[in-house]
Amino acid sequence: MTKLLHIPENHALRFSLHNEIHARPPVSLKLPVSASHLALTLNEAEKAQEYEHLKILCSRFAVNPPPRKASHFTATFDTFLFHWEQHGEFSTYCFYVKTVDSDKPFAKPALAYAPMDWLDQLVGKSIVAAHAVIMPATDQVPSTAEVSHYFEGNALVGSQVTGGDATAFTDFRIHNDGFSRFLIFDKQLLSQQAGRLLQRLFEIEVYRVMSLLAFPVAQALAPLASTAEQRLSEITTDMAQHDCDDGLLLEQLTRLAAEVESHISHSQFRFGAAHAYHKIVNQRITDIREVKIQGVQTIGEFLGKRLQPAITTCQSTAKRFSLLSERISNASQLLRTRVDISIERQNQALLTSMDLRVKMQLRFQETVEGLSIVAITSYIVSLLNSAAKALNSAELTTIKPEIVSGVAIPIVFIIVAIGVRRLHKKIKAS
């Protein structure tokens, strides 16, 4: 008996992260097979309704429903195999049946085997709807002329896939029934291999459309970017003028910066999602391992020419706004520096003016202090003169008042001046 080894306490996310690698596994298919794939965009409220709707389908066929927090679910319902996945912005529903009419492979798609009343109540908005058929291949690779009538005569895109084990064709068009189509001729596909191939083809269709959700946003923002660039150019031109109003220009820059940041915040998620979805499309194209059929564009070639320009436009628009934000920030910083320098000059002039005023007040104060000393001396000498006159009138002294006043003037003046200076020093010390 193997002895269980003790390990430290598990991280709360250990098992969920470990099992993430097994999430959304491809289904194992018995060939030939017909499949229908739906991708619906949902908001948070609709995701809760979606789960309840899945429970209704499971209840109808006596199948245990998935756990409430599950993100994928696979089960067999009577005559069809059902696979559901929930993603960040959308959910996918895939139906598989083994019945295939080799003459009219799209005449009765897999979706026809699902309950129509249940399908009518699906929540969300359809973003992708596709049918796919895997049917046995003949000894030779079918020509485009032989296959094109399955696609209403449209130009075909296709290649040998999974290293030559199958040949896949599509036209990347929505047909009269509202569905796009994939037709795969099986040479030696295994069950798991067929499931992975269909999953990747459907994901190419879904993620290419999801990536293009950013294209209308880019088209709407392009003229706004041009207008913002023109406004910034006008502001920076005005900044170079000597008689410009820095305060007004700073206000205009601040308003422009707010508008640009608003556009960035509203489009950042969409552009970021487009970049991520486009990477998944390229990865899935790599995963199907295409081998070119002479005279037919491969799926990778077709999407490279048709999808890449739109994605490049989105990336270019996002970069324009990012650079525009940086330029506005640099212009604002430059203008604020000019405003700060102007304010410093004003402050310096104000300080110089205040210093001059202080000097003038000091001189005035010194003048007043001098006058005060003279006034106090005059007052005290006058008092002494009056006292001397009184003493002289009372015949208590024979000193003339004029002599007393004359002698007292310098003495009183010195004493008053010293007293005023001491008082001035005390006031400064306090």
Task: Give per-residue pLDDT as tens, 284-296.
Answer: 999 999 999 888 9
Q: What's the confidence (pLDDT) of residue 56?
A: 94
- Helix/strand/coil (H, E, C) string of 139-184? CCCCCHHHHHHHHCCCCCEEEEEHHHCEEEEECCCCCCCCCEEEEE
Q: What's the confidence (pLDDT) of residue 273?
A: 94
Both structure tokens of 358: 């202080």
How far is residue 294 from each of residues 142, 156, 182, measured CA to CA in Å? 12, 12, 19
Is the pLDDT score of 18 beyond 80?
no
Confidence class for position 129, pLDDT limits 50, 70, 90: very high
Range with lowest mean pLDDT among 87-91, 323-327, 355-359: 355-359
Is residue 112 included in any domain, yes or no? yes
89-112 mean pLDDT: 90
Pair 31, 179 in one domain: yes
Residue with tokens 């002294």: 397
Cα dihedral value 215, 216, 222, 227, nearest 10: -160
Q: What's the confidence (pLDDT) of residue 175?
A: 94
Confidence class for position 104, pLDDT limits 50, 70, 90: confident
Both structure tokens of 2: 């193997």
Task: Give per-residue pLDDT as tens, 287-342.
Answer: 999 999 888 999 999 999 989 999 999 999 999 999 999 998 888 888 787 777 77
Pair 152, 101 in one domain: yes
Rounded percentage of the chain residues whose pLDDT exceeds 90: 50
Q: What's the confidence (pLDDT) of residue 203?
A: 95
Q: What is the mean pLDDT of the chain?
A: 86
Cα-flanking dihedrals φ and ψ of residue 287, to 5°?
-65, -30
Q: What's the confidence (pLDDT) of residue 205?
A: 96
Cα-flanking dihedrals φ and ψ of residue 7, to 5°?
-125, 155
Is the pLDDT score of 140 beyond 90?
no
Pair 54, 185 in one domain: yes
- Rounded CA gap, 70 and 23, in Å? 10
Pair 273, 200 in one domain: no
Q: What's the confidence (pLDDT) of residue 194?
A: 92
Question: Which residue would you say has higher pLDDT here, 352 or 365?
Answer: 352
Residue with tokens 């999974």: 162
Q: What's the confidence (pLDDT) of residue 351?
A: 81
Q: What's the confidence (pLDDT) of residue 230?
A: 93
- Rounded CA gap, 116 and 111, in Å? 9
Beta bridge partners of 72: 85
Pair 378, 344 in one domain: no
First to last CA, the chain: 93
Domain count, the chain: 3
- 142 burial (CB, 10 Å; 0-12 / 13-18 / 19+) is middle
Asked whether the whole model's pTM tops 0.95, one would answer no
Pair 195, 219 in one domain: no
Q: Strand 166-170 relative to strand 90-97: parallel, antiparallel, unpaired?
A: unpaired
- Rounded CA gap, 396 and 225, in Å? 107
Buried b (16+ CB within 10 A) or exposed e, 224-248: ebeebbebbeebbeebeeeeeebee
Cα angle at 360 between 355 and 362, to 5 degrees?
95
Pair 123, 52: CB distance under 8 Å: no
Pair 157, 246 in one domain: no
Is the pLDDT score of 126 beyond 80?
yes
Q: What's the confidence (pLDDT) of residue 145?
A: 80
Cα-flanking dihedrals φ and ψ of residue 283, to 5°?
-65, -40
Is residue 2 included in any domain, yes or no? no
- Rounded CA gap, 294 and 304, in Å? 18
Q: What's the confidence (pLDDT) of residue 430?
A: 65
- Rounded CA gap, 408 and 380, in Å? 9
- Residue 83 domain boundaries: 23-210
Pair 173, 293 in one domain: no
What is the greatest pairwise CA distance in the chain? 160
Q: Which of 349, 374, 400 is the last residue of a domain?
A: 349
Pair 283, 297 in one domain: yes
Q: What's the confidence (pLDDT) of residue 24?
A: 67
Pair 104, 206 in one domain: yes
Q: What's the confidence (pLDDT) of residue 243?
A: 75
Pair 185, 231 in one domain: no
Q: Which of 210, 230, 264 is the last residue of a domain?
A: 210
Range with lowest mean pLDDT among 181-190, 306-315, 381-390: 381-390
Cβ partners under 8 Å of residue 420, min gap 6: 369, 372, 373
Confidence class for position 352, pLDDT limits 50, 70, 90: confident
- Rounded CA gap, 22 and 316, in Å? 36
- Rounded CA gap, 54 and 70, in Å? 11
Look at residue 129 and give its three-state secondary structure.
Answer: strand
Is the pLDDT score of 81 beyond 90?
yes
Is the pLDDT score of 215 beyond 70?
yes
52-75 mean pLDDT: 91
Cβ partners under 8 Å of residue 349, min gap 6: none
- 75 burial (CB, 10 Å; 0-12 / 13-18 / 19+) is middle
Q: Which of 308, 326, 349 is the last residue of a domain?
A: 349
Q: What's the confidence (pLDDT) of residue 261?
A: 92
Confidence class for position 26, pLDDT limits 50, 70, 90: confident
Both structure tokens of 211: 């990536």
Is residue 9 included in any domain, yes or no? no
- Rounded CA gap, 344 and 338, in Å? 10
Q: What's the confidence (pLDDT) of residue 3?
A: 58
Q: What's the confidence (pLDDT) of residue 141?
A: 63
Q: What's the confidence (pLDDT) of residue 283?
A: 95
Q: Is the peptide bond before 142 cis (omega within 30 degrees of 0)?
A: no
Pair 136, 225 in one domain: no
Task: Give per-residue pLDDT as tens, 223-278.
Answer: 999 999 999 988 888 887 777 777 788 888 889 999 999 999 999 999 999 999 99
Q: Strand 180-186 relative to strand 125-136: parallel, antiparallel, unpaired?
A: parallel
User: Which amino acid does the sequence have at 375?
Assistant: A
Buried b (16+ CB within 10 A) or exposed e, 119-133: eeebbbeebbbbbbb
